[in-house]
Structure 1
Amino acid sequence: MTAASAGACDALTAMVDGTLTSERLVGDCLARIDAREAAIGAWAHFDAEAARAAARACDDGARGGLLAGLPVAVKDVFDTADMPTAYGSPIYSGHRPQADAAVVALIRRAGGVVMGKTVTTEFAMFAPGRTANPHDTAHTPGGSSSGSAAAVADGMVPLALGTQTAGSVIRPASFCGVVGYKPTFDSICPTGLKNAAWTLDTVGVFARDVADAALFAGVLDGRRCRADAFDASRPPRLGLCRTPQWAAADADTRTAMAEAERQAAAAGATVCPIDLPPEFDALLAAQHTIMAYELARTLAFEFDTAPDRISAELGTILDEGRAIPARDYARAQQRRRVCQAQLDGIFAQVDALIAPSAPGEAPRRTAGTGDPVFNRIWTLLGTPCVNVPGLTGANGLPVGVQVIGALHEDARTLSAARWLEATLSGATAG
C-alpha cells in the first residue's frame, strides 16, 4: 500500500491489522512530495523529520485516536504553533503563532500526523499562489484551498483541511477530482482560523472518498463517523437543481449533470427537477455584499498598515467593502434569513439536491482560480455540500457534481453523496 493508493479508512484498517505502519505511510507521502512538489507546488511548509517522529510515536503506541498515524495537510490559514503561518500573504512571512488552531489541536489529539501547511490564495481570497493542478499543471487547482486539494489529488496525503467563504472547498475539489466536504456552517470550530468573512467562513475537508471525508470531519465536529455510520445502500431521492446561475455552466458541466442524472436514475434513485423560489435569485449578490463588507473589517489592520503588500485583486474587494453602507449589509443578511426559512420546504421533497460544483473543467492558471458562481449561495445559506468526483470533461480534466443537503442534515447529505459516488464509479454502495 502506498500513499498514492491508500485512502484514510483503508490505511487505518491496514495499520490495525499490522500490514501497514504510520512510519511507512508517512514515508510514502514524503517520497511522493519529494518527487512531485517541484511540479505541483502544494506546500507552503512541511517538516519531514517532525512528521517521521510523529509517525514513530503512533507506531509505538504513544499517540492514539481515530486518526492515529494518518498524514494530514493543513491549509495555511490555520494557526500552527510549531510551523510558520503566513495566510498566503507576504505581510505574515515567517509568522509563528503562539498556539494551534482548534482543528489542528484536534487532529493531533486524534493521532493525526500534521505533515505541514498547504498553499492558500492570499487571505483565502482570489489572488493565486503557485500551486498547479495535478491532472495538468497548465491548469489551476482552484482556490482558495489550492494546495490542500492538489496534495490529496496527487497522493501526497490522504486528508487535508480547507475553508470555504465563497467556493474554496467545492470548486478546487471539482477541479482536482477529489471529495470536498463543506459541513453545515459552524459545525466545526473556527478558532485559530484567519477570518475572511465571519458569517461565511466554514471549515471543510478534502479526501479521496466520501467515507474518508466523513471520518475526518467527524473527528473535528464530534460526530466520530466511520464508513458504516450512515446508510448509503438505499437509492436517495435527488432533486436536480440547475440554480439561477445555470447560464454559467459550460458544455462540460451540462454534460456531467446530464450523465449524473442518467446514472442515478438507472441505479434506482428518484430524480426530479427542483426550481428554487424567486427570492433565491438575489442570493448571489447578497453573498458578495456580505463577503466584501466583512472582509474590509477583518483585514482592516493589514489594509491600514501594509497596503503596498496587498494584491490588486484583494485591494479592489477591500475598497468595495469599505464603501458598502451598513444598511446594504443588513439587507443582504435579511435575504439570507428569508431564503434559509424556505429550505425546509425544499428538502421536504428530497434527500439532497444535485447541482454543478463548478462551471466546467479547471481553467488555465493564467485565467485565475476559477469562478465560485455555483457555490456562493450554498455557502451563504450554510448548507452542507459535498463535491462528488468521477466524471470528466472534453479535455479529460475532472468535473464534479455537488450534493447539497438541508441545514444540519449532514449525515443524510453524506449518505446521498456516498451513494452517488459509488454509482458514478461503477462500484456497489453500502
Structure 2
Amino acid sequence: MIDENTYKVTASEALAHFKDGSLTVHEYATALLARIAARDADVQAWAFLDPAHVLAEAARLDSIPIDFRGPLHGVTVAAKDIFFTKGKATTAEFAATNVGPKTKNPHDPLRTPGGSSSGSATAVRDFQAPVALATQTGGSTIRPGSFNGIYALKPTWNVISREGVKIYSVLFDPIGLYARSVDNLTLLADVLNIHDDEPAPGIFSVRGARFAVVKIMVWPKAGPGTVSALMAGVELLRKHGATVEEIELPPELDELPQWHRTWLAAEGRTSFLPEHRMAKGQLDDFLVAHVENRLGLTRAAQAKAFDSIAAARPVVDEIASRYAALLTPSDVDEAPVGTAFTGAAVFNCIWTPSKLVSMSALCASYGGYPESDNAICL
C-alpha cells in the first residue's frame, strides 16, 4: 500500500507496517525517492544518491523472512558524508569547516540549515528520510537540529563506535542522531545499545523537577531570537510545574572555549595530514592551517588544554547532577541568511568534550521541546 503521504511515515511506523504487510520496503523507498526528486532542487540534502541501488536493495530486503529481520530492517537512514557508506548526505568539507555545502534550510531556502551535519538534518526535516546519523566536533549535531526544528541527540562521547567515520578529533567527535520524534531517537539508541548505568527511576515528570538555565561565558553573544526562545522554554517549564533556576559556570571554566580550540587545532594537525600531503591545493585553507600549525601551538599548550578539559569534566558533572537538565542555547541566534556560512559553535563547543548527553530543545528560529532526562538541552 502506498499513498501520497507514505513518505511521512516514521521509522517506528514503517517497521510496524513492514511487519503486518501493509507496506513493503520497496514501496516505502519508492515514496521517499519521489519526495527527494520533488524537493531536491530546493533542499539539496544529498551529496550522492543512487536510486536504482536503493530500489534494488529494498526489493532484496522484502525477500527476507520476518523472523530473520533486524531491528531497523528496511528503514532509510541518511548518513553524513564522512561515514563509509554508499548513500551520502551533505556536509562541510570533512565536517571540519563553517563553510556550507549546497544544502538549503527546508523552512527558508534563503537560510543555512546549519553545519556540519547539513544534509542529515535537512533530509529528516524535509521527510526525505525518517532518521539520520551525524557527528559533532563543535556544534555539528545540535546546531543543524535546532535550525531545522528536529530532535537531535549527541550522546556521551564514544558510546557509539566511530569505526568507518572520518575523524577530525579523537577527543571530541561523538556520533549524533536525528529524528522527528522522541520514540524514533529511542529506537536508534536501543539499536546502538545506548544505556545508562542505572535504569531510569520510572516515568519522568516535569512537574516538581529542577532545571537550570546556564548562561555560559559567551552569553553576551546571544541574539534576541535566542534569548526569546530560551525564555519561552523557561516559562513553558514553569507553567508545567517545574522549578527553573539561573546559574553560571564557575570562573575556572572560563577558558573552556579556548581549550576546545587549542585541542581541535592539535588534532586537526594529524587528522588532515594525509589529505594535505596528497592534495593540499584542494584542501580548505582552514584545514591547511591546522596541518601547518600556523597558530604556533606548542606541545605544552596542547597538553595543558587536554588536562584542563579533563579536569573540567567532573566539575560540570557535579553541577549537572543537581538538576533534571541544564538549559542553554543551541546557537547565537536565528539561522543566518545565506548558505555560505553554517553558523558558529560558540554555544555548543564547551559541552562537546563533556560526558553529558546533549539534546536540541530550544532554538532561535525553529524547533520543539524534546522530553529529556539528565540531558543538557542545547
TM-score, length-normalised on structure 1? Answer: 0.79
SS in 2 for 1:19: coil
Distance in 2 separating the partners of 1:129 and 1:142: 10
The alpha-carbon deviation at position 322 of structure 1 amounts to 6.7
CA change 1:219–1:321 in 2 (3 A) is farther
Asked whether the 8 Å contact 2:82–2:95 carries over to 1, the reply is yes
Distance in 2 separating the partners of 1:398 and 1:69: 30
Partner residue in 2 for 1:407: none
- For structure 2, the residue ranges without an aligned partner over 5 or more in a row are none
Whether 1:195 aligns to 2:171 is: no
Asked whether the 8 Å contact 2:105–2:122 carries over to 1, the reply is yes
CA change 1:214–1:134 in 2 (3 A) is same
- For structure 1, the residue ranges without an aligned partner over 5 or more in a row are 84-115, 404-410, 421-430
Whether 1:161 aligns to 2:129 is: no
Q: How does 1:8-47 map to 2 (within 5 A)?
A: 8-47=11-50
CA change 1:401–1:254 in 2 (3 A) is farther
The alpha-carbon deviation at position 17 of structure 1 amounts to 3.6
Q: Specify the code of the residue in structure 2 equivalent to 1:231.
A: I
Q: How does 1:17-416 map to 2 (within 5 A)?
A: 17-62=20-65, 64-80=69-85, 83=86, 116-126=87-97, 127-221=99-193, 223=195, 231-235=203-207, 236-320=209-293, 323-366=296-339, 368-388=341-361, 393=364, 397-398=365-366, 412-413=373-374
Asked whether the 8 Å contact 1:289–1:321 carries over to 2, the reply is no
SS in 1 for 2:258: helix
Over the residues paired in the alignment, what is the CA RMSD in angstroms?
2.6
Q: Specify the code of the residue in structure 1 equivalent to 2:82.
A: V
Q: Specify the code of the residue in structure 2 equivalent to 1:259.
A: A
TM-score, length-normalised on structure 2? Answer: 0.90
Asked whether the 8 Å contact 1:177–1:398 carries over to 2, the reply is yes
Asked whether the 8 Å contact 2:149–2:367 carries over to 1, the reply is yes
Distance in 1 separating the partners of 2:285 and 2:337: 20
Distance in 1 separating the partners of 2:214 and 2:206: 21
Count how many residue pairs are aligned between Structure 1 and Structure 2.
368
Q: Specify the code of the residue in structure 1 equivalent to 2:366.
A: P
Asked whether the 8 Å contact 2:150–2:367 carries over to 1, the reply is no
The alpha-carbon deviation at position 19 of structure 1 amounts to 3.2
1:217-240 per-residue CA deviation (whole Å, 9 max, x = no partner) reads 33123549xxx9973445442111
The alpha-carbon deviation at position 25 of structure 1 amounts to 1.7
Identity among equivalent pairs (%): 35
Distance in 2 separating the partners of 1:283 and 1:223: 28
1:124-160 per-residue CA deviation (whole Å, 9 max, x = no partner) reads 1113211111111111111111110111111100011
Which structure would you say has the larger RCO, counting Cα contacts within 8 Å and 6 or more residues apart?
2
The alpha-carbon deviation at position 399 of structure 1 amounts to 5.3
Asked whether the 8 Å contact 2:102–2:339 carries over to 1, the reply is no
Distance in 1 separating the partners of 2:328 and 2:112: 21
CA change 1:322–1:278 in 2 (3 A) is closer
CA change 1:162–1:340 in 2 (3 A) is same
Asked whether the 8 Å contact 1:174–1:401 carries over to 2, the reply is no
Q: Specify the code of the residue in structure 1 equivalent to 2:374.
A: T
CA change 1:171–1:401 in 2 (3 A) is farther
1:43-98 per-residue CA deviation (whole Å, 9 max, x = no partner) reads 11112222223323333334612112211111110112xx3xxxxxxxxxxxxxxx
Q: Specify the code of the residue in structure 2 equivalent to 1:153.
A: R
